[in-house]
Structure 1
Amino acid sequence: MPINRTTLNGLYDLNLQTDEDAAAFLAAQAEPVEKIETSRDVVVNAVGTHLYETFFQGYTRKQWGLDPSELDKSVTSRVPTRTNLDDRYFLDSFQAMPRDGFTRMFEKMLDHPNIDLALGADYHDLKPSELAPLTVYTGPIDAFFGHRFGPLPYRSLHFRHEILDQRRFQEVAVVNYPDEAVPYTRITEYKHLTGQVAPRTSITYEYPSAEGDPYYPIPRPENQALYKKYEALANQRDDVIFLGRLGTYRYYNMDQVVGQALATYRRLAERMAIQTGAASTAAE
């Protein structure tokens, strides 16, 4: 993943040399869908049934526990199909890992005298006197309101970690397994991402599950309608800001979540500046 010209040449035993060649081939495979509503529609409309069944159908069924025809079009729209040789998942200009890893990055972000870290504490167990005037809540929005309208559906993951006595397990960082007969969806080998050099290697198998910590909001119209009921309750709360995948029930990538957080901060900073200025003027 993703499908590119190398994929097409290997799968169909072709010798496509240019982007134009690949685009023409994909156009010939495409099966136009009059009204694109589901994830199946997106892929079949762009690349046809064969590539859809080979790469998307089984993987989506495993990942979401649903057929692509039952999921919103946004799910498979996230996975690009390319006509060039670029095999990166994302096309962002800058792609990097934190120099010392994500754990150290968050430790440094939290290392501030105004921040108290309380792990293993449930928000709902806190007394009103223990709450700040403003809370940023990134947990499941339905849980915050006691599942008043019923639980929102989520998908989870179970991980199996292995350390192997070999230098390398696979040729790239992540290999996806679209075949429904394979119980896991992908294997990640971390040294490709970190640049570490070592005689052993660490890998992780990912198994989608309906049970466990909520990871993925499930994009379906009926789920979005249920979320809107919770969003209406959230909009009535001036003391809580709901953010993140779970707080806003959206399938965000990491960069999108960071962008959401920074945009929220800017709005808060502007609001506080206005309030501080108004208070200063009143005092004068």
Structure 2
Amino acid sequence: MKIDWVIVGAGFTGATLAERIASQLDQKILLVERRNHIGGNSYDCYDKEGILIHKYGSHTFHTNSKLVWNYLSKFTEWRPYFHEVLVVVDGKKVPVPFNLNSIYALFPKEYAETLEKLLIQHFGFGTKVPILKLRESSSGDLSFLADYIYKKVFHKYTLKHWNLKPEELDPSVTARVPVHISRDNRYFQDTYQAIPIPSYESLFKRMLNHPNIKILLNTDYREIIDDVKFNRMIYTGPIDAFFDYKHGELPYRSLHFDFVTKNQEYFQEAGTINYPNEYDFTRILEQKHLTGQISPKTTITYVYPQDYLIGITDPYYPIPKKENRELYHQYLKEAEQIKDKVLFAGRLADYKYYNMDQAVARALNLFKEISGESKKDSSF
């Protein structure tokens, strides 16, 4: 078999690059995926009860990038959807990111009014304040509020999810869910927020429906790479695995999903409810809120964080810590030495906590580089 590119991994990064190279450069691609489906962690499917589920946790597409939005819109229609998440605090379900509505739901009205005024005076209405910054810069009643939110919303949730305290992680992690000084209950405030119609799987199928793209599922690329003649590779898997862990293993966190079908139309008030202080799971998901599917039954998902063990569990989250980035940079130096033959991109290959739109943007930017190289060397 003679092809131009081997692309390892059929998630958003690999699929975007495959589509762009095939359609814009008219080059042939073999897309190799170790799972039995395309779509990576964004894959969705119908369970035995006919409920459309997200197999690897709820995925709400959101972006501020018009470029990314317009690109994906070539392959799907959208169901507008604003994701709302509730968190259980002292037995009450309140909005998260923690906002002014959360305060009024948890505290007496007069005290809530006092806290609201103080937050607006110190930070301004509409601002987003990372919890660690709020703790560092507060005193008096605001100090009480900061400690309360830290203890009730962040501390134990972070311990369960990351097996680390919030202070032990890069500040960017807790900054992803800041305290929002507003009454906006949406989890995201991006310009574009939606769910693909009818599914993520259909979106990926349309992206990869090109005569220049051949897909090989249920396959570790190492099993076939010696039998394929190709010019270059794009690798989206764990970068340390590619180099046989020569500098040591990069740490990740993994997840376990427990799916339960209920004989009722809806189980909970929102698509996601977080349980930071109770149980071993971190959240319960109900994707019917996202998809808008009409059915007398519903399927919910209990999400359990777990350790990542090579060959046993899947790597979901790179762990953002200084020493892990330093280890990653050792592998990045290795990657630089073979960039004429192999390119690395994606959450696992870049060891970055990408959202879906960020993975697409990364792929589109890499394609620009590839396209520029192709124009320079027409013999490639």
Pairwise TM-score range, normalised by the shorter structure: 0.7 to 0.9
Quick one: which of 331, 334, 341 aligns to 1:233?
334
Paired position in structure 2 for 1:259: 361
SS at match of 1:187: strand
Aligned length: 265
Residues of 2 paired with 1:150 and 1:106: CA distance? 34
Residues of 2 paired with 1:193 and 1:79: CA distance? 20
Letter in 1 for 2:119: A
**Higher share in helix:** 1
Q: Write the mapping of 1:60-75 to structure 2, written as runs, cut at 5 A.
A: 60-75=158-173
SS at match of 2:192: coil
User: Which segment drifts farther, 218-227 or 39-48?
Assistant: 39-48
Query: How far off is 1:272 after superposition?
Result: 1.2
Contact 2:256/2:303 (<8 A) preserved: yes
Paired position in structure 2 for 1:91: 189
SS at match of 2:214: coil
TM-score by length of 1: 0.87
Paired position in structure 1 for 2:301: 204
Paired position in structure 1 for 2:71: none
The sequence identity of aligned pairs, in percent, is 42
User: Which segment drifts farther, 103-112 or 12-21?
Assistant: 12-21
Quick one: which of 276, 285, 289 aligns to 1:188?
285
Structure 1 unaligned residues grouped into runs of 5+ = 28-38, 280-284
Quick one: which of 346, 357, 368 aligns to 1:244?
346
- Structure number with the bigger relative contact order (C-alpha 8 A, sep ≥ 6) is 2
Paired position in structure 2 for 1:10: 105
**Could you list the per-position Cα deviations for residues 124-152 of structure 1 after superposition, in whole angstroms to 9, with x for gaps in the alignment?**
22334515212111100000000001110
Query: How far off is 1:161 after superposition?
Result: 0.6
Letter in 1 for 2:376: I
Letter in 2 for 1:64: W
Letter in 2 for 1:208: P
SS at match of 1:206: strand
Do residues 59 (structure 1) and 150 (structure 2) align?
Answer: no
TM-score by length of 2: 0.66
Contact 1:40/1:68 (<8 A) preserved: no
Letter in 2 for 1:2: P
Query: How far off is 1:71 after superposition?
Result: 1.1
Query: How far off is 1:267 after superposition?
Result: 1.8
Paired position in structure 1 for 2:135: 44
Residues of 2 paired with 1:184 and 1:11: CA distance? 23
User: Which segment drifts farther, 121-130 or 108-117?
Assistant: 121-130
Residues of 1 paired with 2:114 and 2:211: CA distance? 57
Query: How far off is 1:19 after superposition?
Result: 11
Residues of 1 paired with 2:106 and 2:116: CA distance? 18
Residues of 2 paired with 1:43 and 1:59: CA distance? 18
Contact 2:318/2:353 (<8 A) preserved: yes
Quick one: which of 114, 137, 143 aligns to 2:212?
114
Residues of 1 paired with 2:115 and 2:108: CA distance? 17
Letter in 1 for 2:206: K
SS at match of 1:96: strand
Do residues 23 (structure 1) and 119 (structure 2) align?
Answer: yes
Contact 1:159/1:207 (<8 A) preserved: yes
